[in-house]
Amino acid sequence: MNEAYEKIKNRLLEYKKKNYIVPTEKMIKTKEQIEGIKAAGVINTAILDMVEENIKAGMSTEDINKLVHNFTISHGAIPAPLNYEGFPKSVCVSVNDSVCHGIPSKKLILKNGDIVNVDVTTIYKGYYADASRMYIIGEAKENAKKLVKVTKECLELAVNAIVPWETRLGDLGDIILTHARKNGYSVVREIGGHGVGLEMHEDPYVSHVGKKGTGMLIVPGMVFTIEPMVNEGSRLIYQDSRNGWTIYTYDGKLSAQWEHTIVVTEDGCEIITH
């Protein structure tokens, strides 16, 4: 039995009667599940820290894949991307105009001024945690640095806004979109955050564009990612038809992304990936 769900079931029903969209039982994690997801988060963070120490100009994105793969395995964990729906590597590495789902390659060499997203998802004892960071290689141009900074702010503003039984998923999208637009940027719509913990991608879908006061009610026990992809130019994107995975900006301008897994608590939320 899901005790966490049983405890709040009646309160959820009240909101449902008032026509709110409310989470399902599976979206409310038990204490035990949350402990497991947090343990996966600790390893996931250690991996991103290890990348931070090692990433530099002259490395290939495949070198990052090897580092992440070996570190994960040596800590008794599994890299979730490997073989996920046919994804061929253990981590996503997305450089400059690549929005997300970059496939590590020996041919893609990092150079001074690049902005790089490394997106790590770790399975530990059956539980999943998912987070990504941006890394700046050497000295980047002002516009690149600003995009990276503002995208991080978008994530932080959304996380800090979460008040259980009050905030709705649409509020998060509204906050992210408003902050990005204020800085002259656009937000990717086709890919979003997601429930996470027992699988890599669970419901609900967490859009990074939204309207205040709409969407699912956020309540304690929910575990999901927020992972805004913010573009310097147009929001439009396309998928690499050769590998079927990597997403690029349509106009070739820069894109940045930061991601955390969060657990909603009684009085706010906890980032479990830092």
101 forms part of the interface with ligand MF3 (CB under 6 A):
yes
Min. distance of Cβ 100 from ligand MF3 in angstroms? 7
CA angle 104, 45, 271 (to 5 degrees): 120
Q: Which does 81 bind (CB under 5 to 8 A by kind): Co ion, ligand MF3, none?
A: ligand MF3
Closest CB to ligand MF3: residue number: 81
3-state helix, strand, coil in the chain (%, to 5): 35, 25, 40
81 forms part of the interface with ligand MF3 (CB under 6 A):
yes
Subset of residues 220 to 259 that bind Co ion, contact rule: CB under 5 A: 225, 227, 259
Q: State which of residues 227, 228, 263, 264 lies at the interface with ligand MF3 (CB under 6 A).
A: 227
For ligand MF3, give the closer residue by CB, 85 or 266. Answer: 85
Q: 121 near 191, Cβ under 8 Å?
A: no
Min. distance of Cβ 45 from ligand MF3 in angstroms? 14
- Classify 43 as helix, strand or coil: helix
**Rounded-to-integer distance, Cα 162 and Cα 218, Å:** 8
Subset of residues 167 to 186 that bind ligand MF3, contact rule: CB under 6 A: none
Closest CA to 217 of 176, 264, 174: 264
Strand 255-257 versus strand 202-206 pairing type: unpaired
Q: 147 near 256, Cβ under 8 Å?
A: yes
Q: Which does 197 bind (CB under 5 to 8 A by kind): Co ion, ligand MF3, none?
A: none
Q: Which does 87 bind (CB under 5 to 8 A by kind): Co ion, ligand MF3, none?
A: ligand MF3
Q: Total residues contacting ligand MF3 (rule CB under 6 A)?
A: 12
For ligand MF3, give the closer residue by CB, 41 or 81. Answer: 81
Cross-strand partners of 115: 136
Q: 136 near 145, Cβ under 8 Å?
A: yes
Query: Can you point out the beta strands (E) in the chain?
Result: 78-79, 92-95, 98-100, 115-124, 127-136, 186-187, 193-195, 202-206, 223-226, 229-231, 237-239, 247-249, 255-257, 260-264, 269-271
Which stretch in 18-26, 56-64, 78-86, 167-175 sits in contact with ligand MF3 by CB under 6 A? Answer: 78-86
x/- track of binding to ligand MF3 for residues 104-143 (CB under 6 A): ---------------x-x--------x-------------
Min. distance of Cβ 46 from ligand MF3 in angstroms? 17
Min. distance of Cβ 16 from ligand MF3 in angstroms? 28
Min. distance of Cβ 37 from Co ion in angstroms? 13
**Rounded-to-integer distance, Cα 115 and Cα 95, Å:** 6
**Rounded-to-integer distance, Cα 165 and Cα 12, Å:** 9
Question: Within 13 A of 164's CA, how many CA atoms are on the CB side?
Answer: 19
Residues forming contacts to Co ion in the complex (CB under 5 A) are: 119, 130, 225, 227, 259
Residues forming contacts to ligand MF3 in the complex (CB under 6 A) are: 81, 84-85, 87, 92, 101, 119, 121, 130, 225, 227, 259
